[in-house]
Each structure stands twice: as structure tokens, then as C-alpha cells.
A and B are shown apart, each in its own frame.
Chain A
Amino acid sequence: MLRFFLARVAMAVPTLLIIIALAFFLMRLAPGGPFDSARALDPEIAKNLRHIYKLDRPLLEQFWFYLQSLAHGDFGPSLHWRDFTVNQLFATALPISVALGTKAMLLAVLAGTALGLGGAMSKSQIGPRIVDGAALFGIVLPVFVVAPLLQLGFGLTLHILPVGGWNDGAWQNQILPVITLALPQIAIVARLMQAALRDALAMPHIRTLRAFGMPGFHIYGHALRAAFPPVVSYLGLAAANVLTGSVIVETIFGIPGMGRYFVDGALGRDYTLVMGTVVVVAAAVLLFNLIVDLVLAWLDPRVRYESRPG
């Protein structure tokens, strides 16, 4: 187990390096630079600014500088939020994104499992159809439609929740964003769960257990075990999506998380900020993959001894 773990970590480092290089040079392909604005700067002043931020050096040299400061855990100064370093920005934004993302994923797993279980337990064809249909809604409704609808409904019509804002993480302010983030994930988990459970319930060994008169609780326990691996695999992928895909939720609800830095940084050519988000997200993806592998290995010991492709 430990060797498996260490090998995976060792492989992550070169992967991360290649990603950093790719992102660094790709970003510079985009037209414009951080100092372009509605009011074009005096060319002399712009030149001076590029000098101050070392953007006038050859690109390779800049890349080398970046790697060096990265090695010291320093993401550099933000070019848009000029009073902050990228590290300072992340220090407030990352915990918020992690908190929201975790709650949304937990909600997705709980609600999705419950729905999936409900659908699978239903004797008739109607139950699963309802779950599938409801899930379809969750998947096809874009977040930027759901979010305003929730704001209108709960904030402006019912007056029971704030429309937006973070308010230092007050729970009222978290409910709507968490729901919005979780909805598509609930839908997917419910479908995965229901399908996997129905397959599992049809398996010979479960049918045998049933025939022996095992109580339903035990039967579904067994079925759940069979159903978990695809869900876990999916969650690993989804976790990273929730971290980055939250940009719309953050923008509409006015939440100071990571997602907005991602998009604002890229659109505003804030090179250091963008690179910082890329590094953090890539690291998170690699981490989640690792966790998924570990969990799968724990669920199914056979996995440990076979090297995963790639």
C-alpha cells in the first residue's frame, strides 16, 4: 500500500511540471497583457510597468523565475489585485471554496444515494423513471439559470434566505450556493447509484441472500457495496469540477472563492493569478485521483497489485 502511494506521489511531480509549463506558455499566447485597460497607458509608463513586473524579460527567463519562486511556495504578486500576493488571495479564497465544495459533495452523496436507493427499492417501473426524470432536470438545467431562480424564489419571494453575499460564511448565505452547486451532482450520483444498485440486486449472490430470507437492510448493504466503486470514481472527477465549476455560482451569489480568480485571472491577463489557480487546481485533481485510487484499493484489494494504466 505504502509503495503504491509513494509511487503515485512521485509520478505526480513531473505531471505537475508539464502542466505548469503548458499553462504558462498558453496563457502568453492570448492577445493583450495585464496592463491593457479602457484607458491605454502612456507607452513609456507601460514599458516602465512591464519592467517593474519583469514582464520585459525573455519568456524563458520569466518561466525560470516563476519556477524558482514556486519552489519556495511563492505564487508571486497578483497583477490585478496589486495590494495582494497570490498567496494572500488564496489564503482567504481556498478555504471558502473547499468549504462550499465539501458541503455540496456531501449533500450530493447523501441526497443522491437516498434518491438512488429509493428508485432501486421501488417494485414497479415508475420509481426509477421518476428518479431518472428528476435527475435529467438536474443535469440539463444550466447553473446560470438555476441560481437566479433560487435567488428569486427564496430570497425575493419568500424572504427566508439572503439573495447573495458571503457574510463571513454565515450558514444562511451558504444554503443556496451549496444547493446550486450540488444539484447537478445529486442528479448524477442518483442515476449512478440507482443503476448500480439495480444491477447489484440482480446479481446471483444477492438473489441467493434474498432467497435465504436475509433482512432488507443486509441485502441493500451488500448491494451498496457493489454500487460504490463507480460512484467513488465519479466523485474524484467531480470534486475538481466543483472547485473550478463554481465560478458561475460564485459570481452570481457574490462569494469570494477560487472560481472567480480562475476566470477573472484569465480574462484579465493576470498571469501570476492564473498560474496560481492552475497549479492549485491541477494539484487538487492529482490529489483526488490519488484518493480515489486509495479508496478503490481499500474497497477492492485486487486493485493494489495491478498497476493502474498510466
Chain B
Amino acid sequence: MNEPAPAMPISFTAGATRNWPLRVSLFILGSIALLCLIGPLVSGHPYDQVYRDYVLVRPSLFAHPDASEIDNAIAAIARRMHVHIEATRDGETMHLTLDAEKPVDPRVLRAFARSDLFAPAHIAATEDEGRRLEIDVPLKRMVFLFGTDANGRDLFTRVLIAGRISLAVGLLASFVALTIGVAYGAVAGYAGGRIDSLMMRAIEIVYALPFIFFVIVLVMVFGRHFVLIFVAIGAVEWLDMARIVRGQTLSIKQRDFVAAAEALGATTPAILWRHVIPNAAGPIAAYLAVLVPRVILLESFVSFLGLGVQEPLTSWGVLVADGARNIQGSIHLLIFPALFLGATLGALQSLGDGWRARA
């Protein structure tokens, strides 16, 4: 029997024990998943929060605002509210003296409250019939570990939220592929004969259907809901799975315990469910570890074409595609999501290899 090779590489590392890569991969995957789950809750920034004063900030361990940011912000407020501002800094609070020709517009406090740099201000003293105002403004401290994007949103939080989406997409689509593929393959393999060759013919047709075209059209048609898109992607990715399961089923069918079950009068679905599928579990698991990264990469391709998930949600694919366009301007937009994407794909890949070697 000549089974076509699956679309991704197989490491037949027979004999070689490769336990540490397996453990490292699991550790990386676990950490990333955990970070994506918990990170956004503790990062201090909602993923869709726009900080208008912090557009395209560079990554830094230090808290914003720094001295020059404070000066610029105060100068901008002075211009806008037509006042003259003298500022002195005292730790985390700014003491400001506002001078104007007319009485100072009290809305100036709102200008500070609205700013992303300052906490609400309060008036310490009013002099000269309101033409001079003394106010205390506490600073708001914020850290942008990975910097911010073109809208002034915290990239760290967005990378983690994107991770949730990308991982969810990978798992969801793979689950769809798994369900369809296993059912289809098991039925074809078990039924055999005419039905089998007819079902395999159908697979060959879908194989030759250019896959990118299929995905683009599905995304255009189902454009609105990202869940639907990835159900659709899953519905395309089941082919290899079906072939693998069919092959396994064919060989398992020959085994004695299946014949015994048949003799005992077990129904076909029951045999498939109880005996055939569990026995094919090894290769299925190994293939799944290859499928998940494939789907994630595919999603990034769809994102590059501008057909990715809807704002304000995002995915690694969307972030990396945006970052690649920004490569000369703000490289941090590329590096961080690419690191996460790369680490996840790499870990999944070697996990797949490891499982294959065991299976």
C-alpha cells in the first residue's frame, strides 16, 4: 500500500530518545497559553484601550510619562486652553501655576483629566480674580513593556489577546478537521470496496481544488463571523486526517479483535467507536500537533490579505502582518508578535515530532 505522505514532515527518529525537546516544547506552550489567559487580566491595560497621548511608543521597562512627555503634554494643554503654565515637579505630583489674561476656564481641569498622563487635578489656590490658578496634578504611571501600536494601545496586552484568538482558532479549526476527518476516514476504511473508493475519489477532488481560492472565497462569503471562517478552514483541512485514519482503519480491520466483535454481533458504529478509533489515536494525535500550527500560519496568510479577524480583536497573524509592513518605522510591532508566533509554532512542531516518534 502506498499511502501518500502527509503534507508536513515526519521525523522517524527511531531509537533516539528526544525527551528534553518534548519537555521544553510543552513548557513553552504551557507558559504561552497561561500568559495569554492570565496576562491581559494583570497587564493593567484593557486590550482595546486607546491612549491618545501614547501613539507608537517604543518598548520600555520604565514607566511613562517621562520628563519630555510631561513637558510636551503641558505645553499642548497650555496652547489649547490659552493659558501660560509654570510647572514644578514634586515626585509623582506636578505643581502648576496657570496665568491668563481672562479668568482661567475651569474646564482646564478636564483637559488634565482627559489626558493619559495625569490623574484628576485639583485646585490649590485661586488668585487675581481667577486669572491665576494653582493646581496640583498627580501623574498617572503606565508601563508599556512592548510599546504601543498606531492607535496607542498597549502591545503587550494585544499580543496576549491575539494569542488567545490564534490558539483558539488553531484548536477550533483543528477540532473541526479532526471530527470530519476521523468520521470520514473511519467510515471509508471500514466500509471498504466501492464506497471506500468513491469516498477517496471525493477527497482527491477537494485536494486538487486550489486551497487558497477556497479559503478566500469562504472568508468573503462568511466575512462577518470569525468562528465561521475557521470552521470553514477546518472543513478544508480534514483531508490528510481522513487519509491517515482510513489507512489505520484498514489495518485495524484485519485484526482479530475486530473480527471477534463482529462475530459477537456488534454494530458497525459501535465497532468503529470502541475499537477502530481508539487504536488509531496515536497517529491522530501526532497529526493534530502538525495541524494546529498549519492552521495558525494559514490564518496569518489570510490576515496578510486583509481578511483576518475584526477589530478590536486581533490575532498573531494580524499583528505580524501589520508589523511586517512597519519594518522600517517601528520594528517592535513586528518583533514581539513574531516571537510569540514563532515560539508557539516551533513548540507545536517539535511536540508533533516527539509524539510521532512515540506513536
Chain A residues at the B interface, C-beta cutoff of 8 Å: 11, 15-16, 18-19, 22-23, 26-27, 29-31, 125, 132, 135-137, 139-142, 144-145, 148-149, 152, 188, 191-192, 194-196, 198-199, 202, 230, 233-234, 237, 240, 244-245, 247-248, 262-263, 266-267, 274, 277-278, 281-282, 285-286, 289, 296, 300, 303, 306, 308-310
B10 at the interface (CB under 8 A from A): yes
Q: How far is the CB of A23 from chain B (nearest CB, A)?
A: 7
What's the Cα separation between A198 and B14 when bound, in Å?
8
Contact B220 A244 (CB under 8 A): no
A310 touches which one: B15, B203, B338 (CB < 8 A)?
B203
Contacts of A194 in B (CB 8 A): 11
- Supplied contacts A196-B12, A278-B210, 19 more A-B pairs, CB within 8 Å: A16-B208, A18-B205, A19-B205, A135-B9, A142-B301, A145-B323, A145-B324, A152-B328, A188-B9, A195-B11, A198-B12, A234-B7, A244-B213, A247-B212, A266-B217, A278-B213, A282-B210, A306-B1, A310-B204
Chain B residues at the A interface, C-beta cutoff of 8 Å: 1-2, 4-5, 7-16, 196-197, 199-201, 203-205, 207-214, 216-217, 220-221, 223, 246, 293, 297, 300-301, 304-305, 320-321, 323-324, 327-328, 334, 338, 341-342, 345-346, 349-350, 353
Contact B4 A192 (CB under 8 A): no
* Nearest-neighbor residue (CB-CB) of B328 within chain A: A152
Known contacts: A198-B13, A266-B216, A267-B216. The answer to whether A144 contacts B321 by CB under 8 A is: yes
What's the Cα separation between A140 and B166 when bound, in Å?
14
Contact A248 B301 (CB under 8 A): yes
Chain B interface, >50% SS class:
helix
Q: How far is the CB of B326 from chain A (nearest CB, A)?
A: 10
Contact A15 B5 (CB under 8 A): no
Q: How far is the CB of A119 from chain B (nearest CB, A)?
A: 11
Contact A144 B304 (CB under 8 A): yes
What's the Cα separation between A246 and B4 when bound, in Å?
24
Contacts of A191 in B (CB 8 A): 9, 11
Contact A281 B210 (CB under 8 A): yes
Q: How far is the CB of B119 from chain A (nearest CB, A)?
A: 40
What's the Cα separation between A171 and B297 when bound, in Å?
30
Contact B208 A140 (CB under 8 A): no
Could you name 23 residue pairs across A and B whose Cβ atoms are closer than 8 Å? A16-B208, A29-B221, A30-B220, A132-B350, A132-B353, A139-B349, A140-B349, A142-B297, A142-B324, A145-B320, A148-B327, A195-B9, A198-B14, A234-B9, A240-B210, A244-B212, A267-B305, A278-B213, A285-B207, A286-B208, A289-B204, A289-B208, A303-B2
What's the Cα separation between A191 and B13 when bound, in Å?
11
Contacts of A289 in B (CB 8 A): 204, 207-208
Q: Which 10 residue pairs are nearest across A and B when measured between Cβ atoms?
A: A310-B200, A140-B345, A233-B5, A30-B220, A191-B9, A195-B11, A281-B210, A285-B208, A199-B12, A282-B208
Contact B2 A296 (CB under 8 A): yes
Contacts of A18 in B (CB 8 A): 205
Contact A140 B10 (CB under 8 A): no
Contact A274 B213 (CB under 8 A): yes
A152 touches which one: B13, B197, B208, B327 (CB < 8 A)?
B327
Q: How far is the CB of A31 from chain B (nearest CB, A)?
A: 7
* Nearest-neighbor residue (CB-CB) of A275 within chain B: B213
Known contacts: A140-B342, A148-B324, A188-B8. The answer to whether A309 contacts B196 by CB under 8 A is: yes
* Nearest-neighbor residue (CB-CB) of B343 within chain A: A140
Contact A132 B212 (CB under 8 A): no
Contact B216 A234 (CB under 8 A): no
Known contacts: A296-B2, A310-B204. The answer to whether A237 contacts B327 by CB under 8 A is: no
Contact B209 A22 (CB under 8 A): yes
Contacts of A202 in B (CB 8 A): 14-15
What's the Cα separation between A234 and B342 when bound, in Å?
23
Known contacts: A136-B350, A192-B9. The answer to whether A141 contacts B342 by CB under 8 A is: yes
Contacts of A234 in B (CB 8 A): 5, 7, 9
* Nearest-neighbor residue (CB-CB) of B353 within chain A: A132
Contacts of A135 in B (CB 8 A): 9
Q: How far is the CB of B223 from chain A (nearest CB, A)?
A: 8
